[in-house]
Amino acid sequence: MAKKVALMQGNEACAHGALYAGCNFFAGYPITPSTEVAEVLSNELPKVGGKFIQMEDEIGATAALIGAALTGAKALDATSGPGMSLKQELIGYACIAEVPCVIVNVQRGGPSTGMPTGPGQSDMQQAMWGTHGDHAAIAISPASCQEIYEETVRAFNLAEKYRMPVQLQLDEICAHMREPVTFPEPGELEVIDREAPTVSPEDYKPYDDSQGQIPPLASFGSGYRYHVTGLNKAADGFPTTKAELVDAEERRQIAKVMDNLDDILKNEEYQLEDAEVVLFAYGSTSRSARYAVNELRKEGIKAGLFRPITVWPFPDERVAELAEQAKAIVCPEMNLGQMVREVERVAKGACLVSHIGRVDGEPINPGQIIDRVKEVL
């Protein structure tokens, strides 16, 4: 049987990817350019017995998301800049309480209301550092509609597996462009559900890591009674101020991500084998970068593209290798210098790092990238 192929927007692909992953709960608050995700799910979720709720604001949406996730739901929320800022406190709550959920940020220009219908990539550092306190983050930036579909599934998988919030950092261009999307068959893509406890309710401790870095999460209403708090807590979930327990918990929550980079990181490498100049680009900007690589190669310039799909945690190791290999790394981003900070941190001066920033609501075009490459070589 031929597979279902449909022409759709990135936002629609995100909603359908969520459904494939088993998403059965959406809470959100309307905001351009993310609203189509909510619109599609308001229509589709009840068909599969799922729930859609439009909350009174983005803080409430994240709160409802976490509440639903604690009952076992696979929960999604989609927003953009101003809404993302409002959510930050509760993203930290989901981190410390270790509640799986997926939050989509369709980036537009900013700060503040900025340019609601213009694209941006200016919340990239926020995705890592937006909420207060030390924590680990997983964020993903896909670059095509098909990839948005598939990476939404992966975002749910990572959330469920690592018991934490995962952010999908889209941008307005990817979210609103239309491309054919091939729907995978059931079973074709891996779908991971969180691990349920095997111990008896009496013995259950929601943060007990004696069996592994990621303690199983019991659903509310499944027979397990336990406590969830945003305070620093001990293995039993109850608040503690004991220095050694607080320290161990915080470190475990970061280590569960940083010890599993092989599983979490995902990049695409294009023409990098002999590259003398590396373009570091993600999201819609990587599409211009790929075009630029092809054009530069035609002129005999050895350019290549490194495209992180998982943007947080940052792919330190691979970027460091590329910095050793290349004469220059050029980073086009629709912001005034965010992920380039990570490239510079990791390159440690091994090669020239050059940033192309754009915040006027226009995409970065291949010509701009080509010109810069020629300048730096």
Partner 1 sequence: MAYDYEKSIRPGKLPHIWCPGCGHGIIMKGLIRAMDSCELDLKNTAVVSGIGCASRLPGYLDACTLHTAHGRAAAFATGVKMAKPEMTVLVVGGDGDGTAIGGNHFIHACRRNIDITYIVMNNNIYGMTGGQFSPCTPTGAMASTTPYGNPDPTFDISKLAIGAGATFVARGTAFHATQIDKLIAEGIRHKGTAVIEILDDCPTTYGRRNKFRSVVDMMKRLKDIAVPVAAAAKMTPEQLEGKVLTGVLYKEERPEYTEQYAQVIAKAQGA
Residues that bind partner 1 (CB under 8 A): 24-25, 27, 43, 46-47, 49, 51, 53, 55-57, 59-61, 63-73, 75, 89-90, 93, 201, 220-221, 223-231, 238-239
- Residue 194 CB, nearest approach to partner 1 (Å): 14
CA pseudo-torsion sign 143, 148, 153, 157 = positive
Asked if residues 19 and 51 have their Cβ atoms less than 8 Å apart, the reply is no
CB atoms near residue 316 (< 10 Å): 14
DSSP state of 184: P
Angle between helices 81-97 and 58-70 (to 10 degrees): 30
**C-alpha dihedral, 281 to 284 to 287 to 293, nearest 10°:** -20
Q: Is the CB of 241 or the CB of 262 nearer to partner 1?
A: 241
Asked if residues 52 and 26 have their Cβ atoms less than 8 Å apart, the reply is yes
Q: Is the CB of 60 or the CB of 361 nearer to partner 1?
A: 60
The span from the CA of 137 to the CA of 154, in Å, is 15
Q: Is the CB of 175 or the CB of 228 nearer to partner 1?
A: 228
Q: Is the CB of 60 or the CB of 114 nearer to partner 1?
A: 60
Asked if residues 20 and 13 have their Cβ atoms less than 8 Å apart, the reply is no
The span from the CA of 363 to the CA of 240, in Å, is 49
Q: Which residues pair with 329 in a beta bridge?
A: 278, 353
- Residue 210 CB, nearest approach to partner 1 (Å): 20
- Residue 90 CB, nearest approach to partner 1 (Å): 6
The closest of 217, 204, 124, 125 to 162, measured between CA atoms, is 217
Q: Is the CB of 77 or the CB of 151 nearer to partner 1?
A: 77
- Residue 291 CB, nearest approach to partner 1 (Å): 42
Q: Is the CB of 77 or the CB of 147 nearer to partner 1?
A: 77
The one-letter amino acid at 62: T
Q: 321 φ, ψ to 5°?
A: -60, -45
Q: Is the CB of 48 or the CB of 258 nearer to partner 1?
A: 48
- Residue 196 CB, nearest approach to partner 1 (Å): 15
The span from the CA of 78 to the CA of 160, in Å, is 18
- Residue 226 CB, nearest approach to partner 1 (Å): 7
- Residue 201 CB, nearest approach to partner 1 (Å): 8
CB atoms near residue 180 (< 10 Å): 10
Q: Is the CB of 26 or the CB of 306 nearer to partner 1?
A: 26
Q: Is the CB of 238 or the CB of 270 nearer to partner 1?
A: 238
- Residue 233 CB, nearest approach to partner 1 (Å): 10
- Residue 66 CB, nearest approach to partner 1 (Å): 6
Asked if residues 168 and 152 have their Cβ atoms less than 8 Å apart, the reply is yes
The span from the CA of 224 to the CA of 363, in Å, is 50
The span from the CA of 318 to the CA of 306, in Å, is 9
